[in-house]
Amino acid sequence: MKKTDTLKEIVAKKKERLLEAKQNLPEETLKAKIAGLPLTRPFIEAINKPHAISLIAEIKKQAPSAGIIRQDANPIDIARIYADSGAQAISVLTEEDFFGGNLSYLNEVKGAVNLPVLRKDFILENYQVYESRFYGADAILLIAELLSKEKLSELMGLADTLNLDCLVEVHTEKELKKVLSLKVPLIGINNRDLHTLEVDFKNTEKLFPLIPKGNAVVVESGIKSYQDILFLKILGVSTVLVGQALMAADNIKQKIEELMGW
């Protein structure tokens, strides 16, 4: 039986959604609407804490690997709990079909807390960068595997002109080499293979030592316990992005305190 390639399915659906979005809100209109928006909040600055591990807490209602994670997930309520629990930034999944997200969550979360907000989605083209800025993101996720070196460079350049920070995510050594050649200020190591959805914590062990010391690094996926955090701290990781473990917890605040050791 042929295994499903989840990433392929997500990208195909995303391309359909993009065509729709451009019809509803053309790129030129989008650009014009951005002009008068308030300044973005500095994302990289917020998570760059010397001698401490920062937490990007993620709002994610469901996932292809887990199904529905939290039935009653109200983004505003969860964002407030995250802010009250000491998170340095919030990641908001905006992909609709596989993760139950929505672009409108960005503005809702932004209005509820003072933390910077990352748009986590499958960004393929310039339109989505403008869209991210318009809907209230302070930073965007770019997945190295989905983008050529040229496209990655182009999207990062555009994000920079809109004062958006970029978290550039890698899963393999090959992707990391591509990203390092572009002098990316914030690199994400994803322990999850987006094709098979399998998580391997050893991925961080393998890739982290290959990243030059000056780079800020965010580790994503599979972080469940304080032991995981201690292990990453010893490695020298500066930031973790955690979604599922928090969204599935009965008491989110308590889970954050346990996980981070705060």
> Of these residues, 108, 131, 175, 220, which one is catalytic?
220
**DSSP characters over 127-151:** HHHHHHHHTT-SEEEEEGGGS-HHH
Q: Within 13 Å, how many C-alpha atoms sit on residue 182's CB side?
A: 25
> Of these residues, 14, 54, 60, 110, which one is catalytic?
60
Task: Tell me how far apart the terminal alpha carbons of the chain are, to the nearest angstrom.
Answer: 46
Q: Is 58 a catalytic residue?
A: yes
> Of these residues, 85, 91, 191, 221, which one is catalytic?
221
Q: Is 107 a catalytic residue?
A: no
Decide if 239 contacts 261 (C-beta within 8 A): no
Q: Is 60 a catalytic residue?
A: yes
Separation CA 46–CA 43 (nearest Å): 5
> Of these residues, 58, 95, 131, 175, which one is catalytic?
58
Separation CA 157–CA 148 (nearest Å): 14
Using CB atoms within 10 Å of the CB of residue 251, give its burial: 0 to 12 exposed, 13 to 18 middle, 19+ buried: exposed
> Of these residues, 91, 190, 191, 238, which one is catalytic?
190
> Of these residues, 14, 169, 175, 238, which one is catalytic?
169
Separation CA 109–CA 117 (nearest Å): 8
Q: Is 220 a catalytic residue?
A: yes
Structure tokens at 217: 């690094």
Task: Report the phi/psi class of residue 236: left, alpha or beta, with left for phi > 0 and alpha for psi in -120 to 50.
Answer: left
Q: Is 221 a catalytic residue?
A: yes
Q: Is 258 a catalytic residue?
A: no
In DSSP terms, 54 is beta-bridged to 239
Q: Which residue has tokens 């807390």?
A: 113
Strands 62-63 and 67-68: antiparallel
By annotation, the residues acting in catalysis are 58, 60, 120, 169, 190, 220-221
